[in-house]
Amino acid sequence: MSEQDNTTDNGQQQDPEVEKELEGVPEEFLDDGEEEEGEGSLEDALAQMKAELEEAKQQVLYARADTQNVRRRLEKEKDEARAYAATGFARDILSVADNLARAIDAIPAELREDDKMKGLVAGIEATQRELDKVFGQHGISRIAAMGMPLDPNQHQAMMEIPTDDAEAGTVIQEMQSGYMIKDRLLRPAMVGVAKKPD
């Protein structure tokens, strides 16, 4: 076999032992060392698979992040529902607290000193203290109003009162107490605000 016979179509030298092994194998089954047209190389296929794997990893990471965000949002909603579950009931019970305060304020001084009435007055005042304690246990607190500058987030101005005794915009009368439940407004305080006389 000549040296020319030992070369492949692409000009590469072929090993004589390999040539001997391949004797009798039909030409269509022999690999001439060149890539067939239309087929990507092994490196191209590997690069494509790596790209697809990277994309799948990104999708998994996005899905995990999305799941974590949903979980956090649900936890927050659950905590808020628990913290503010009593809002409707608390708003309704405020009218009871208002009536109790009015009842105490309406008791004349002479009746407070009367031996027959002292027990009743003490009982009503104890009831008011107990109600305030229960409010405190549930995060319900009274809004400070008297002598404070008007805060539209907590106070509702019902009227302006001309006076020289206070700065304009200062609360000088409270018609109805305001309340917060934790950090949310439960009911604004209804107030009268000082203004400069005309």
Q: What is the CATH number of the domain that holds 141?
A: 2.30.22.10
Do 53 and 104 sit in the same domain of this protein?
A: no
More confidently predicted of 35 and 21: 21
Task: With CA atoms as reference, report the closest residue to 157 among 141, 174, 144.
Answer: 174
- Domain carrying residue 110: 87-195
Q: How many domains does the chain have?
A: 2
Average pLDDT estimate for 83-91: 83
Main-chain phi, psi angles of 172, to 5 degrees: -120, -5
68 and 94 fall within a common domain: no
The pLDDT of residue 4 is 46
Which of the listed ranges 3-7, 18-22, 126-130 does the model predict with the highest average pLDDT?
Answer: 126-130
How high is the pLDDT of residue 13?
59
Mean pLDDT estimate for the chain: 84
Same domain, yes or no: 50 and 92: no
Please report which residue ranges of 3-114 form alpha helices under DSSP H.
16-21, 42-83, 87-106, 109-113
Classify residue 21: in a domain, yes or no. no
Q: Is residue 132 situated within a structural domain?
A: yes
SS3 state at 98: helix
> For residue 29, is it within any domain?
no
- 115 and 45 in a common domain: no
Q: Is residue 101 part of a domain?
A: yes
pLDDT, one tens digit per residue, over 135-169 is 999 889 999 999 999 999 999 999 999 988 888 89
- What pLDDT, in 10s, does the model give residues 42-60? 888 898 999 999 999 999 9
What would the pLDDT profile of 113-132 be if each residue is shown by its tens digit? Answer: 888 888 888 899 999 999 99
The predicted structure's pLDDT at residue 32: 59
Tell whether 111 and 63 lie within a shared domain. Answer: no
